[in-house]
Chain A
Amino acid sequence: MSALNTYILRIADDSLILGQRLSELCGHGPAIEEDIALTNVALDLIGQATSLYEYAAEIQNGGKTSDDLAFLRLEHQYLNTLLVEQPNGDFGMTIVRQWLFDTFRLPFYEALQQSKDAQIAGIAEKALKETRYHWRHSSEWVIRLGDGTEESHYRVQEALNFLYKYVDELFYMDDIDKEMIEKGIGVDLESLRPAFNERLKHVLEASTLSMPAYEWKLKGGRVGRHTEHLGHILTELQYMQRAYPNLQW
Chain B
Amino acid sequence: MVSSDFIWKLLDEVPDPEIPVLSVVDLGIVRSVNVIDEKNIAVVVTPTYSGCPAVKAIENSIREKLIESGFEPSITTSLSPAWNTDWITERGRERLKAYGIAPPVDEVDKNVLFADAPVVPCPRCNSSNTRMISQFGSTACKAHYQCNECLEPFDYFKCLK
Contact = CB atoms under 8 A, between A and B. Distances in A.
Interface of A: 33, 36-37, 40-48, 50-51, 118-119, 121-123, 125-127, 129-130, 132-133, 136-137, 139-140, 143, 203, 206
A118 B80 contact: yes
Given A122-B82, A206-B113, A36 B136 contact: yes
Contacts of B134: 33, 36-37
Given A125-B82, A133-B135, 4 more contacts: A36-B134, A125-B81, A129-B160, A133-B110
A121 to B, nearest CB: 6
Contact of A50 (B51, B110, B136, B138): B51
B17 interface: no
B50 A136 contact: no
A140 B136 contact: no
Contact of B140 (A43, A50, A132, A136): A43
B78 to A, nearest CB: 7
A143 B113 contact: yes
A21 to B, nearest CB: 15
Contacts of A50: 50-51
Contacts of A139: 113
Contact of B144 (A33, A51, A140, A206): A33
B113 A126 contact: no
A126 B80 contact: yes
Contact of A136 (B80, B82, B110, B161): B110
Contacts of A44: 49-51, 140
Of A37, A40, A47, A203, most buried by chain B (CB within 10 Å of CB) is A40
Contacts of B53: 43
Contacts of A133: 110, 135-136
Contacts of A48: 50-51
A227 to B, nearest CB: 26
Interface of B: 47, 49-53, 78-84, 110-111, 113-114, 133-138, 140, 144, 160-161
Contact of A132 (B110, B136, B137): B110
A7 B49 CA distance: 23
A101 to B, nearest CB: 16
A140 to B, nearest CB: 6
A130 B83 CA distance: 11
Contacts of B50: 44, 47-48, 50-51, 123, 126-127, 130
A133 B53 CA distance: 19
A2 B103 CA distance: 45
B52 A143 contact: no
Contacts of B133: 33
Contact of B113 (A37, A122, A130, A136): A136
Contact of A123 (B79, B83, B114, B136): B79
Contacts of A137: 135-136
B160 A140 contact: no
A129 B113 contact: no
A50 B79 CA distance: 12
A123 B81 CA distance: 10
Nearest to B136: A37
B122 to A, nearest CB: 19
